[in-house]
Structure 1
Amino acid sequence: MSEDKKLKNRNEIDESYKWDISKVYSSVDEWDKEFQELKDEAPKLKEYSGQLKTGEKILEYMKLSEKTSRKAEKLMIYAHLRSDEDTANSKFQVLKDKIDAYLAELGSYSAFFVPEILELTEEFLIKEIDRIPELKIYEFLFKDILKEKPHVLTKEMEELMASVSDCLDAPSNIHNLLTNADMTFGTTNDDEGNDVELNEGNYSTFVRSKNRSVRENAFKKLYGGYKALENTLAASLSASIKNDIFSAKTRKYSSALEQALKPNDIPLDVYKNSVKTINENLSLLHRYIKLKKKLLKLDEMHMYDLYVPAIDVPKEHIEYEKGIEIIKKALNPLGEEYLGIFQEGIDNGWVDVYQNKGKRSGAYSWGSYDTMPYVLLNYNFQQHDVSTLAHEMGHSIHSYYSRKFQPYFYAGYTIFCAEVASTTNEALLIHYLIENENDKNKKLYLINEELEQIRTTVFRQLMFAEFELLTHESLENGEPLSAEALNSIWLDLNKKYHGDHMIVDQEIESEWSRIPHFYNDFYVYQYATGYAAASSFANSILKGEKDAVEKYKGFLKSGGSDYPINILKNAGVDMTSSKPLEATLERFNELLDMLEKEIK
């Protein structure tokens, strides 16, 4: 292996490309000292059990809870990030294990809080808030807890539900072990004709191969493996959905969907209208598939042709510094303040840039209220890595604004909002790249990249959402979900979504059994709604609409201070209407027009 391709040890990476965790704790000794302080302070939380009957006691508890929680999170961030730098470093693995174990214990100290607040009335809390102005800051938090009162069970029932939580998690655990540990798919051929053991990890490489027989063979082998176990996998998924329904009925929700959406005050129509809107616009996806078939010069378009790149471009080597400059130009419409925060993150040690031996794979943005919003990268000089940096910095700048403008208890944001800021950055980046690309082939490639983003994040995830709705409603209506029933639902959805220009191969009917997200009820629609909200923000910013940037920054500053629908609506994006999703689909149509124009 040549010297420049050899993976470096951590100490061989230049300090300027590493995150600065010394700003959290200067040494492990300092970490140990604060960990001991936490262990001395936190048990005092238990002393408030049964005492939350006056505004004064509630305020005391909230202040102590914040102090201990902030300290615990800071300790956790340091231990986890140091461990992720080099997973083989046992010193930091020990720190990580110590704090993780203690966090479970810490949670038990405050388990009484929500039940005791639920015993109070809203009238009493409002009276105490009026009497003690310092409590005003917690008003939304208290109201959010009280809103769930109709769905909270007796103490004995809550204890019973907690005691069976392990059993209720069994279907997800079974699926995870079966698909990741026990299932085998045999061997398949790679591009050089070698026999290679097929697994979920390398399947994506084969299905993107330019050699059609390679991707077809891998496709049939993989889905053949799932088909062989379809009855077991159907029983597992059916049990998971039954658990959702059982929990919803026990907690007096009208449906499993209401149980998933109501805690964040998301109207059921947001979910159902998203599915309805995508169904009304499936002709756009059909048109894209027809175009892709033409670009790939295929007589027949099969499901295993869907992921192969339609446009070939030479791999471009993009140095990290050049990637930063590209992103800054793309984000220029967000204004000097936003760009200044971005540059501060680059200059002041937010980002851990390059791979090293033992470093955790992938990328993330993570931090706490009292640390910087750190970014882990494994930058490998590709266009994808530039997009990843833009994406993760979107999360980090969202966190930066939220922590600066919100008190501790509202600095976090919901999953419904989490992907909006990161995707807005990506949308601005891809728009900039397309608009400023002069090479015809590269421009086609970029246009197709954005089309694929929308296909996989909006169309595909809402097909998943529709499947979840159909399967939950089937069981709620007393209709059993056999492997045959699940296969039929999935195959029909694929035919409807992909249209007449696609041959929907029979093997795809088993695809539902691959998808772990279905064990986290009604989760995936948020990818599509997040993308739609981000597209709406990016569109208004690029058009230079009045106050567009300030409204967007208002969203970033809001954290979790209100329900996600209200936060977005206040920033000019109404997710209770179909407009944000329709705007995304208009962009998809615009990209299709651009693609057609370029290939004529």
Structure 2
Amino acid sequence: MTLIVAAVFLIPPLSSSAAGKEIQIPYSSRKDIPRDYKWNLNDIYPTKKAWESDIKKAECLAVRFKKKFQGSLDKSPVHMKKALEAYTELSRIEEKAYVYINLELSTDESDHHIQALANRADIMSAKVSEHTAWFSPEVGKIQESTMKKYLNHPDLKIYKNFLADIAHSKSHILSKEKEELLAKVSPLSGTAQNVYSMLSKDIKFPSIMDERGKEVQLNRVNFSTYMESPDRTVRKAAYEAYYATLAKFQDSFASVMSAQVKSHNISADVRNYKSAIEAALNPDHIPVKVYEELLTSVHKGLPQLHRYMEIKKKMLKVNELHMYDISTPINERNSSYIPYEEARKMVIEGLKPLGLEYGSILKKAFNDNWVDVYSTEAKRTGAFQWGAYDSHPFVLLNYQGTKNDVSTLAHELGHAVHAYYSKQAQTYINSGNPTFTAEVASTLNENLLWESEYKKAKTKEEKIFLLNQRLEDFRTTLFRQAQFAEFEKNIHELDAEGKSINAETLKKIYGDINNKYYGSAIARDEQIPMEWARIPHLYDYDFYVYQYATSFAASQALAQQIQDEGKPAVKRLKEKFLKAGGSSDPISILKNTGIDMSTSKPIDEAMQVFKETLDELEKLLSKE
């Protein structure tokens, strides 16, 4: 069991990025960026010396924890409480030190000194895991009668959910010796992710000509932007150049993917799970049927996605619709650069339905340097929210002034405020927000921001633009993440059957799924089967992306509640959801808001909203 409970919450990978103009990056180097646009990590540690002190302290506490408590957890409730308090103290220090240095690394991944310090944190974390690996097995072996007393003892009330989770996974906890062995080799589990990250960073892409006839260097950051260029020649050039470059490294990417999949399947087998999906979902009490019903419901909705592609084809006035066409807006409104200060105002205004208190936390985030805004060459791509229990949340952006960047800001602040509420309301051990619920908070913000913009729209053109944006949100978050989830499921099953995972196999599987999702309106591009090589989350985590889709559906339902009920729904959202943290399992937390994700109903209802949005778009188009 890992001690670090603070999760990195990222924007869904490779969603469209509303552009069409020349990319504007205000600052060429990090030192040129004003302090107001950079987070302040001194809020966690004032000096590296203080950080190093906690690194050493965590290692010492881990040794002391094992020496003092191993073999005695069934002694008494009082003794168990002391053990859990020591475990919590150790975990908080480890988490704080680990988060701090990795946040710093994310702003400059080329800094060799910070790389070395991050490696030091990895070593510390591995040592802590090694000296605490016995803990869960020993808790799991406590006699049922004794555990029952512990779960009902008033002194252990705040640890009840934590202990119940271990009891829930009891049959999958190994012996002390095996857990210690796995802890020793745990640093290897991140190898595939690290290799993928380095490989992706080191690949150099060719130059293309942009909309102004200027030669520009294609890279991981600007590729998605050029996919929304209004100039089809630019889109095609970027698309073909990017995937042709990836194809040169297809065997390397496939080897990394194969290693990642094998590690998941081996771990699941060792821990006596039926599948890698079950191993990934079980710790959060998520039934495998939730994953399966998501795919089933999405498959039922594919005719509507095909319909959307047909509409897009007509609106773009192309004889053939290619994958490099589908991210471009159907009109060019709002494609101009949006200053960050304006984006802040848009987010605060759009999230007003969540109340004054929520708004005050947003302002605190902006005023107290929670957000690292602008991209620089060595900064980690994408966006995320992260933080320790003993720090405020931190949000990383790569802001380029696009409409999608405004949505990304709202998304990551959804994570940040959720974390802020959870840490305020819950003890450390219950403060972590599982991804399954965390992504609901973030996509809810995107939904409310869209609703705010649509209500303000006065012209037909504005409404068409915004309706297309909403349809794109559905496509990239519900359909696209389900598509990734289906691919992930298929390749894990392929490996479990003893079949080879190689580049040609991966391309065949991915290409077939892509054809199924997008239908006959899309031309069969030879490049798209390589897209699996640029989906970071397939290398970072196991069975993570499906949660974007389920959360998107849940957030649609919550937004509807807020629209229908107003303040009562907001109060319920705050008290029953945003403050819940990890005090219960994700399915139960959402049920407390009136949303049952153990059924297909939320997905089916989201599909209906997608259909109604399509209907509205077609109605407006028919008036032209």
**TM-score of the superposed pair, with normalisation by structure 1:** 0.86
Among 231, 252, 260, the alignment partner of 2:272 is 252
The answer (yes or no) to whether the contact 2:126–2:187 under 8 Å persists in 1 is no
Distance 1:372 1:324, change over 3 A: same
Match of 1:140 in 2: 161
Distance 1:354 1:124 in 2: 54
Distance 1:72 1:490 in 2: 39
The answer (yes or no) to whether the contact 1:256–1:472 under 8 Å persists in 2 is yes
Deviation at 1:537, TM superposition (A): 1.0
Distance 1:409 1:490 in 2: 40
Among 343, 355, 358, the alignment partner of 1:335 is 355
Distance 2:473 2:158 in 1: 40
AA paired with 1:127?
K
Is residue 2:81 matched to residue 1:64? no
Q: Deviations over 1:445-465 (max 9, x none)?
A: 222222112101111111122
The answer (yes or no) to whether the contact 2:62–2:132 under 8 Å persists in 1 is no
AA paired with 1:540?
Q
Is residue 2:71 matched to residue 1:13? no
Is residue 2:483 matched to residue 1:463? yes
Distance 1:480 1:111 in 2: 33
Distance 1:202 1:381 in 2: 13
Distance 1:386 1:463, change over 3 A: closer
Is residue 2:543 matched to residue 1:528? no
Determine which structure has more spread, i.e. the larger CA radius of gyration.
1
Match of 1:437 in 2: 457
The answer (yes or no) to whether the contact 1:551–1:572 under 8 Å persists in 2 is no
Distance 1:198 1:412 in 2: 38
Q: Deviations over 1:90-148 (max 9, x none)?
A: 99888766655544434434332222212212321222455x52112212211211222
Deviation at 1:540, TM superposition (A): 1.4
Distance 1:220 1:150 in 2: 49
Is residue 2:456 matched to residue 1:400? no
Distance 2:603 2:187 in 1: 38
Distance 1:90 1:453, change over 3 A: same
Tell me, what secondary structure is at the counterpart of 2:166? helix
Q: Deviations over 1:55-76 (max 9, x none)?
A: 2322112112223333444455
Distance 1:256 1:291, change over 3 A: same
**TM-score of the superposed pair, with normalisation by structure 2:** 0.83
Deviation at 1:436, TM superposition (A): 0.6
Distance 1:153 1:125 in 2: 18
Among 382, 387, 391, the alignment partner of 1:367 is 387
Tell me, what secondary structure is at the counterpart of 1:495? helix
Q: Deviations over 1:203-230 (max 9, x none)?
A: 4344333333443344344444555665
Among 284, 290, 301, the alignment partner of 2:304 is 284
Match of 1:589 in 2: 611
Q: How does 1:285-324 map to 2 (within 5 A)?
A: 285-313=305-333, 315-324=335-344
Match of 1:576 in 2: 598
Among 141, 145, 156, the alignment partner of 1:119 is 141
Q: Deviations over 1:512-550 (max 9, x none)?
A: 344343344322211111111112111211222683222
Distance 1:177 1:8 in 2: 21
Tell me, what secondary structure is at the counterpart of 2:543? coil
Tell me, what secondary structure is at the counterpart of 2:311? helix
Match of 1:411 in 2: 431
Bigger Cα displacement from structure 2, 415-424 vs 489-498: 489-498
Deviation at 1:289, TM superposition (A): 0.7
Q: How does 1:436-585 map to 2 (within 5 A)?
A: 436-477=456-497, 483-519=503-539, 520-544=541-565, 547-553=568-574, 554-585=576-607
Deviation at 1:417, TM superposition (A): 1.6
Deviation at 1:404, TM superposition (A): 1.5
**Structure 2 unaligned runs (5+)?**
1-24
Distance 1:139 1:367 in 2: 24
Deviation at 1:343, TM superposition (A): 3.2
Q: Which has the higher contact order (CA 8 A, sep 6+)?
A: 2
Among 273, 291, 294, the alignment partner of 1:274 is 294
Q: Deviations over 1:417-465 (max 9, x none)?
A: 2211111111100111112122443433222222112101111111122
Distance 1:170 1:95, change over 3 A: closer
Bigger Cα displacement from structure 2, 38-47 vs 588-597: 38-47
AA paired with 2:568?
D
Q: How does 1:102-181 map to 2 (within 5 A)?
A: 102-130=124-152, 132-159=153-180, 161=182, 180-181=201-202
Distance 1:432 1:355 in 2: 28
Distance 1:277 1:120, change over 3 A: same
Distance 1:383 1:141, change over 3 A: same
The answer (yes or no) to whether the contact 1:19–1:351 under 8 Å persists in 2 is yes
Q: Deviations over 1:7-40 (max 9, x none)?
A: 587587366x665656555666766776776676
Deviation at 1:46, TM superposition (A): 3.0
Among 216, 241, 264, the alignment partner of 2:236 is 216
The answer (yes or no) to whether the contact 1:374–1:396 under 8 Å persists in 2 is yes
Tell me, what secondary structure is at the counterpart of 2:527? helix
Distance 2:458 2:96 in 1: 47
AA paired with 2:558?
F
Distance 1:117 1:337 in 2: 40
Match of 2:9 in 1: none
AA paired with 2:91?
S
AA paired with 2:343?
G
Distance 2:261 2:475 in 1: 27
Distance 1:578 1:486 in 2: 29
Match of 2:17 in 1: none
AA paired with 2:554?
A
AA paired with 1:146?
A
Distance 1:187 1:353 in 2: 26
